[in-house]
Amino acid sequence: MPRRLSLAPAAPAPAAPASAPQDAHERAVTAFEYAVWHLGSAFARWRRDCLALLPDGSLSGAEASLLHVIHINGTAKGLAEISRLLHRDDLANLQYGLKKLLRLGFIEKADPKAPRKSVTYRASARGRALIEAYVRLRRDVLLKLTNRLAGTTGAIEDATTLIHLMIGIYDQASNIVTGQRGAHGRIEP
């Protein structure tokens, strides 16, 4: 169980000399985190508003994400792969979403006779039609906007690489504070 940090005021720390590079780094990381919050909210609004315009687009953003991931590369996917691709570990919520998508006819089991633990899912004709409508709307609106800015493709590629690297760093930091109990990952015998 992770230790809880106390919110009680701590004894004043001895004054440390100002570290301009460290301060700049902390400000940069803080600004990055703030931008990620904004990006997450803006992307969620885009998905919601885009899906609302589509025929048959009554899915939540989380359900639409499930459908899109299942559709990627046209290959059937099981729960473990879906979880990994969405970078989520809340399997019960993913299973609930899968059941809903099955019930609504957006996905189907790739092999209805497969044992429960090895079930894979693929987009149904209804699911593929919804994704294709989303892709058309995305091209007509979002890609036209991003394509008008010079250098956007390279900047987006660089930002994507940085975000993937930061995901790894945040995952490692999370492992340190929750599993290894220590600022430097010390494991006590």
Percent of the chain with pLDDT over 90: 66
Output the pLDDT for position 116.
83
How much is the mean pLDDT over the chain?
87
Lowest mean pLDDT among 80-84, 109-113, 114-118: 114-118
pLDDT of 20 above 90: no
pLDDT digits (tens, 9 = 90+) for 121-173: 999 999 999 999 999 999 999 999 999 999 999 999 999 999 999 999 999 99
Least confident piece of the model among 2-6, 16-20, 68-72, 92-96: 2-6
The SS3 call for residue 140 is helix
The tens digit of pLDDT for each residue in 113-132 reads 888 889 999 999 999 999 99
Cα–Cα dist 92/79, whole Å = 10
User: Which range (3-7, 34-38, 130-134) has the least confidence?
Assistant: 3-7
Helices (H) and strands (E) in the chain, counts: 7, 3
Averaged pLDDT for residues 99-118: 92
- Do residues 56 and 126 lie in contact, with contact meaning Cβ atoms separated by under 8 Å? yes
- Residue 77 near residue 69, CB atoms below 8 Å: yes
The answer to whether residue 15 scores a pLDDT higher than 60 is: no
CATH architecture of the domain with residue range 48-172: Orthogonal Bundle (1.10)
At 14 the pLDDT is 57
User: Region 54-67: what's the mean pLDDT?
Assistant: 86
Q: Which two tokens stand for residue 75?
A: 């290959």
Q: Look at residue 121 in the predicted model and tell me its pLDDT.
A: 97
Please identify which residue in the block is written with the tokens 């590369």.
Answer: 73
- C-alpha span between 153 and 149 (Å, rounded): 9
pLDDT for 61 equals 85
CB count within 10 Å of CB 95 equals: 13
